[in-house]
Structure formats: structure tokens, C-alpha cells
Amino acid sequence: MMKTPLTISMMLERAEIFFPKKQVISRMKGGVVRHTYKEIGERTRRLASMLKQLGVGVGDRVGTFAWNHHRHLEAYFAIPGIGAVLHTINIRLSPQHIAYIINHADDRVLLIDDDLLPAIEAVKDEIPNVRAFIIMTDADELPETALAPVYHYEKLLADGDPAFPFLKDLDEYQPAGMCYTSATTGQPKGVVYTHRSTVLHAMALGLADTLGLCERDVAMPIVPMFHVNAWGMPFAATWFGSTTVMPGPAFTPNVLAELIETERVTIVAGVPTIWLGLLQALEKGRYDVSSLTRVICGGSAAPKGVIRAFEEKYGIPFIHAYGMTETSPLVLVSRPKSYQDGLSYEEKLDIRAKQGLLALGLEMKVIGQNGPVRWDGKEMGELCLRGPWIAAEYYNDERTKETFRDGWLHTGDVVTVDEEGFVKIVDRTKDVIKSGGEWISSVDLENALMAHEAVFEAAVVAVPHPKWQERPIACVVLKEGKSVTKEELYDFLRPQFAKWWLPDDIVFLDEIPKTSVGKFLKRKLRDEMAARYADAAAE
Ligand code: AMP
């Protein structure tokens, strides 16, 4: 067989040749703008030619700091198209982390949305290696800025070459993209995607048993383009010739509902918070979302109530998936098998609320306290992965050795696997409670407690124990005006769990400490509880 490389530019070239009339639709501040793939192709080539003129060479990193829109899509293809590396920067990081990753990646040029300029201006003195700032704006003139040298994206394109050829003789293993993942402690960690990994991953999104993305689709990636390349959707949608809809800057649930209705969107992808928001918007407004044929949900566990609401109230199939920055991200997709069709809706919902079956092309193993776990839906272990779109290391980072061992990515996610091979995430390795050689899922206990009508929030953490190594302590915040005793909560938990799973104590708190993105700050809670129970442990 021929050894033709899998390159990112071949995806856009296919759209230019076979789907020149199909559109990329972007909601911008001033309204919706439409470009055909022919126009996107020409604009991308113009950008590529100008990046080259600005001195960007093969292997150089170019950062983007932007919302989901057509210009960002052009950068997705122009940067790898000249052999450079597309570094999508998370616009929500702290200034300290933004400066760190721009320097760590050694970004040479930055493409920045005009409304996001202040965040880059705030760190301008800390990023001396950036040679040019390109401002993406709808305005005719550049905004006032302290950055230098600055270029106006559209004016730059006007000077570019619409027929500029993409680099042809590329090694498919060459770096094409970069994304940083935030660590629980310390600086973010960089993952480098190759041309090959990006193309193979995009191809996987088209399989009927994953997302089944295809030409007929009108695809709207809501997940940000700086979060694992919007799960690879912009690449795949362009390649397959799907219509792409970009929700643009600072959208609200109502904006999303409106776009779905007016553009007849068929497939959307986002995290559970987005779907909770959209459900609320659908409740209040009168939107026609009947065009949707599937909602893709990942990033954190999809609550059953959300799945049910989309399906029962709106008749929209809901697909739960799992992945991480290190995995491009597609790893698991939850679709019951054909011979499970006869199960009741509730039974199927149980399966579909799990994270799902391994995508083809990947390998997994689940390692528990005593080696590989049984596929019984009960025994817990850490999910480990291998495959052509799984990272092999962090970029220039000594933390590589903690996560990548013996040829496997150790995900840090604790899972069970049922008899059919469906994987369920039950905890993070750092949060699971290791009690007497067995693991207790903090998430299961929390969910059970939060199902009590008096409980607002619950976080379960491990405290050291001389005999059992670790034991669970539950921290509970009550709803305003509600009361419940410790004993009542134990009575509530007892029928649901084995005796040794029950927390050693239940502590009532005013609030659970949280991270900047609203997740439980378990490290802090663990320290506090460890101090509180230190005497008990010493006995
Ligand atoms: P990130 O790299 O920021 O995308 O985060 C990846 C992490 O998010 C994974 O390691 C999981 O802990 C979590 N995650 C992703 N998808 C899911 C899901 N469907 N259910 C539960 N956790 C998830």
C-alpha cells in the first residue's frame, strides 16, 4: 500500500473540492455570518501565507486565544497547514497560568479575539518571546492596545495569497496541535497532538457507533475550541462536509436554543452544565429544537435526570461520552448493544448513564489493588489506555513519569467494568477511599447523601486510619430551613451500602470548600478532616 501521510490540510482540501457550497455559520457580536467552505479555504490559505511571512516556520508554536467562530476554524487549518503547531489557550485560566503556558509552549505568534485582549495585555511583560499579536475583530480598525506589534486579522488576510499551497511533504507524526490540561496542583501540563492522531481521531467521530458525524449533519460544537479542540468536532465536520455552526462569544442558553432552531442544528456537543442551562431555556421559551438528532455530553458525568429530560420531554437522543485532554479526547461512548434493546427504558438508562464502551482502535486495562479487575460492575481499578490518539507523554514535563508508565496512560480515573464491558467512572484515584485493601467510591456516597431531601451538598473524603489505612468521613451541608440528624442520615444510607462503606462520621458544615471552577476542593477538606480525626487515629 502507499505510504501517504495523514495530514490536517487534507481535511480542509476535501471540503474545498467536494463541499465548496456548504457553510460555516458563525454567530458573532453583530449577528450571524456565513462563509462557504470555498471561502473558508481561501481565507485559511491567505492566513497561512501571512503567518509564513511573519516568520512562522515548521514546528513553531502559534497560540490562539479565542471563542468558537470561523476565524478560529481558519487558524485550526492554517497553522498546521504550514507545519506549525496550533496551541489553543484556555481563555479562563488565571493570568499566571496564561503566561506560564505561552512561555512553556514558546508561542511565537498569538491570535486573539478583540474582547479577550485585556487578559493578554495583563501578562504582556511576562511573554517576551511572542513576536506578533494578531487581533481577530469585526471592526474595521484595531482597538487601542498596549500589545506590540499588532496586526488586524482581516487586513492581514487581504494581503494574503488565496491559492497558497499547504505543506505537502509532512511526516504524519509531526506535531500539529497543543493543549494544556490543568493539574490539581502545580502548573498546567501540555499535550501535543500529531497530524496522524488528529486525523485518526476525527475519522473515529464519524463511526455510527460513536458520534456518527456525517455530511448531512449540521454540527454545533459548544464545547470550547480551546478545550481538547472542541473534542475534534471542527476538524471532523469540515472533513466530512457537514455544515458547521459556531456559537461565538459569550453565548447564553437562549442563544444556543435560537441557533439550534434557526440553523436546524442536528448534533451538539458540550458538558453537562450546558445541557442543564439549555433545558431551562427550553422550559421557559418556545423553541423548536426538533432538528436535533443527538446531544453529545462529556467532560463530567451526565446526570440521569438530564438524559431523561432530553429524551422524554423533547424526544432527542442523548449520548454520554468520556475522554480527557490526553486522549484527544474520544475514549468511551455509551450506546447499549443491539441485544439489549429488549431491556426496559430504566435499565437502558442505567447503562447509558455509564461512560460507555471503548472506542475502536484503542486498548484499555483496569488495574485494581490486586491487579486487573473482574468485569462484574463492582470491582474498582484505575483506567489505563493505549492507542493512536492517546498521548505518550506531557510536553517537556517531568510529571510525565507519574502518568505514563509501561506504555500506558494512567488516567487517574477509578472505574468499574460490567459484564458487557461498559465502563463506569466512580472516582478519581486521589479521591477514592482505600479501606482495608478495598476501594470505596466517594462519588457514590456523595450521590446517595445528596439524594436526601434535607441535603444540599455532600463531600466524602478519606482520613488516615491505623487499622484500615483509610476510612470515609462525610461532610454535609443542609438545605436552608431543613434539618436532619446524623442517625437519620445513617438510616438513609444503610440499605444502600455494605456496612464497611458507611462513613465513620458525618460532619455538618456551612459550606464545602470549592476550587475556582466550582469543584469540591477535596484536598483542603481532607487536610481539615485529617487534623480533626488525628487523635482518633492515634488511639
Ligand atoms: P479534561 O482533560 O479537562 O477534559 O478532563 C478529563 C477528566 O474529566 C477525566 O479524566 C474525567 O475525570 C473527567 N470526565 C470526562 N468525561 C467524563 C464523563 N463522561 N463522566 C465523568 N467524568 C468525566
Closest C-alpha to ligand 1, atom 10: 324
For residues 411-432, give the mean pLDDT: 95
CATH number at 466 reads: 3.30.300.30
pLDDT attached to residue 538: 56
- Please work out, in degrees rounded to the nearest 5, the angle formed at the alpha carbon of residue 107 by the alpha carbons of 104 and 112: 120
Q: Which residue has the cell 424526544?
A: 315
Measured from the Cα of 298, ligand 1's closest atom is 19
pLDDT tens, 328-356?
999 999 999 999 999 999 999 999 999 99
Q: How much is the average pLDDT of 265-276?
A: 93
Judge whether 186 lies within some domain: yes
Give the DSSP letter of residue 533.
T
Task: Give the separation between CA 503 and CA 62, rounded to whole angstroms.
Answer: 50
Per-residue confidence (pLDDT) for residue 76, from 0 to 100: 98
Judge if the beta carbon of residue 446 lies within 6 A of ligand 1.
no
Residue 256 to residue 165: CA distance in whole angstroms: 36
Q: What's the pTM?
A: 0.92
- Looking at residue 516, its pLDDT comes to 65
pLDDT, residue 492, reads 97
Could you tell me the CATH number of the domain that includes residue 65? 3.40.50.12780
C-beta separation of 248 from 30 below 8 A: no
Better-scored residue on pLDDT, 69 or 438? 69
- Say if 168 falls within a structural domain: yes
- Asked if the model's pLDDT at residue 277 lies above 70, the reply is yes
Q: What is the number of alpha carbons within 13 Å of residue 415 lying toward its C-beta?
A: 29
Beta strands in 450-534 (DSSP E): 455-465, 469-478, 505-508
Question: Does 526 fall in a domain?
Answer: yes
Ligand 1 neighbour 299 (Cβ under 6 A):
yes
Which of 184, 212, 240 terminates a domain? The answer is 212
Whether 133 is in a domain gets the answer yes
Whether 333 and 361 have beta carbons less than 8 Å apart is answered as: no
User: Residue 50's closest CA among 179, 152, 172, 187?
Assistant: 152
Of 194, 212, 230, the domain-final residue: 212
* Structural domains of the chain, count: 2
- Domain of residue 94 covers 1-11+43-212
Determine whether the shortest distance from the Cβ of 336 to ligand 1 is under 6 A.
no
414 within domain boundaries: no
Which residue, 190, 212, 234, sits at the end of a domain?
A: 212
Does the beta carbon of 90 lie inside 6 Å of ligand 1?
Answer: no
> Is the distance from CB of 318 to CB of 173 less than 8 angstroms?
no
Nearest residue to 299 via CA among 272, 266, 277: 272
| pLDDT score, position 75 | 98
Cα-flanking dihedrals φ and ψ of residue 108, to 5°?
Answer: -95, -35
Domain presence at residue 370: no
Per-residue pLDDT tens over the stretch 491-529 = 999 999 999 999 999 999 999 988 766 678 899 999 999
Bond prior to 149 in cis (omega within 30° of 0): yes
Lowest average pLDDT, out of 151-155, 228-232, 465-469, goes to: 465-469
439 noted as active-site residue: yes
- What integer pLDDT is reported at residue 537 of this predicted model? 54
- Residue that has been written with the C-alpha cell 458547521 in this structure: 244
Q: What is the pLDDT of residue 300?
A: 84
Strands 381-386 and 408-417: antiparallel
State residue 488's pLDDT score. Answer: 97
pLDDT confidence of residue 521: 87
Residue 294, SS3 per DSSP: strand
Average pLDDT over residues 149-175: 97
pLDDT for res 82: 98
- Please identify which residue in the block is written with the cell numbers 459548544: 222
- Give the distance (Å) from ligand 1 centre to CA of residue 323: 6
Nearest to 415 by CA among 459, 366, 458, 479: 366
* pLDDT for residue 48 is more than 60: yes
Note whether 394 and 403 are within 8 A (CB): yes
Phi-psi region of 509 (alpha: psi -120 to 50; beta: other; left: phi over 0): beta
Q: Tell me if 52 is assigned to some domain.
A: yes
Determine whether 42 is an active site residue.
Answer: no
- Catalytic: 181? yes
- Please work out whether the CB of residue 324 comes within 6 Å of at least one atom of ligand 1: yes
Q: What's the pLDDT tens digit per position in 108-148?
A: 999 999 999 999 999 999 999 999 999 999 999 999 999 99
Average pLDDT, the chain: 95
The answer, yes or no, to whether residue 185 has pLDDT greater than 80, is no
Cα 440 from Cα 504, distance rounded (Å) = 12
Choice among 326, 382, 446, 470 that is catalytic: 326
| Sign of torsion over alpha carbons 44, 48, 53, 56 | positive
CA angle at 135 for the pair 130 and 136, rounded to the nearest 5°:
135
